[in-house]
Structure 1
Amino acid sequence: MTDLTDLTGRTALVTGGGSGLGAAIATALHGAGARVVLVGRDRGRLAEVAGRLGERTRTASCDVADESAVERLRTELAEEEISVLVNNAGVPGPVAPLTEISVDDWDAVFDVNVRGTFLLCRAFLPAMVARGAGDVVNLASVSGKRPLANRTPYCASKMAVLGLTSTLAFEVGPAGVSVNSLSPGPVLGPRMERNLRLEAQRRGVPVEVAEEAFVSRAALGRMVTEEEVGRAVLAMLAMPGMCGADVDLSAGMVA
Structure 2
Amino acid sequence: MAGTAPTTYEPDRIAGRTMLVTGAGNGLGRAISLALAARGARVVLVGRREHTLAEVHQEISAAGGQARTAPCDTSDPEAVAGLARELAGEDVSVLVNNAGIAGPVAQLTDIEPEEWDEVFDINVRGVYLMCRAFLPPMVERGTGDVINLASVSGKRPLPGRTPYVASKMAVIGLTATLAYEVGPAGVTVNSLSPGPVEGPRMDRNFRLEGERRGIPAEQAYAEFAGRAALNRLVTEDEVAAAVVAMLHMPGMCGADIDLSAGMIARS
Q: TM-score, normalised by structure 1?
A: 0.95
Q: After TM superposition, give the deviation of residue 211 of structure 1 in Å.
A: 2.7
Q: Which residue of 1 aligns with 2:108?
A: 98
Q: After TM superposition, give the deviation of residue 149 of structure 1 in Å.
A: 1.2
Q: Which residue of 1 aligns with 2:232?
A: 222
Q: Which residue of 2 aligns with 1:33?
A: 40
Q: Percent identity?
A: 65
Which of 144, 151, 172 is the equivalent residue of 2:182?
172
Q: After TM superposition, give the deviation of residue 193 of structure 1 in Å.
A: 3.0
- Describe the SS at the equivalent of 2:193: strand
Q: Report whether the alignment pairs 1:145 with 2:155.
A: yes
Over 3 Å counting, the alpha-carbon distance change for 1:199 and 1:67 in structure 2 is: farther
Q: Which residue of 1 aligns with 2:199?
A: 189
Which of 65, 76, 96 is the equivalent residue of 2:75?
65
Alpha-carbon separation, structure 2, partners of 1:250 and 1:43: 30
Q: Which residue of 1 aligns with 2:18?
A: 11
Q: Which residue of 1 aligns with 2:3?
A: none
Q: Report whether the alignment pairs 1:22 with 2:18.
A: no
- When the two structures are aligned, how many residues end up with a matched partner? 255
Work out whether residues 5 and 234 of structure 1, in 8 Å CA contact, stay in contact via their aligned partners in 2: no
* CA deviation profile, 1:52-90 (whole Å, cap 9, x unmatched): 101410000000110100000000000010000000000
> CA-atom RMSD, angstroms?
1.6
Over 3 Å counting, the alpha-carbon distance change for 1:157 and 1:4 in structure 2 is: farther
Runs of 4+ in 1 over 6 A off after TM superposition: 201-204
Q: After TM superposition, give the deviation of residue 4 of structure 1 in Å.
A: 3.8
Q: Which residue of 2 aligns with 1:45?
A: 52
Alpha-carbon separation, structure 2, partners of 1:195 and 1:153: 18
Q: Which runs of 5+ in 1 are unaligned?
A: none
- Describe the SS at the equivalent of 1:230: helix
Work out whether residues 21 and 44 of structure 2, in 8 Å CA contact, stay in contact via their aligned partners in 1: yes
Q: TM-score, normalised by structure 2?
A: 0.91
Over 3 Å counting, the alpha-carbon distance change for 1:63 and 1:200 in structure 2 is: farther
Q: Which runs of 5+ in 2 are unaligned?
A: 1-7
Which of 138, 143, 161 is the equivalent residue of 2:171?
161
Work out whether residues 95 and 199 of structure 1, in 8 Å CA contact, stay in contact via their aligned partners in 2: no
Alpha-carbon separation, structure 2, partners of 1:143 and 1:196: 18
Over 3 Å counting, the alpha-carbon distance change for 1:201 and 1:174 in structure 2 is: farther
Give the structure with higher Rg (CA): 2
Over 3 Å counting, the alpha-carbon distance change for 1:65 and 1:205 in structure 2 is: farther
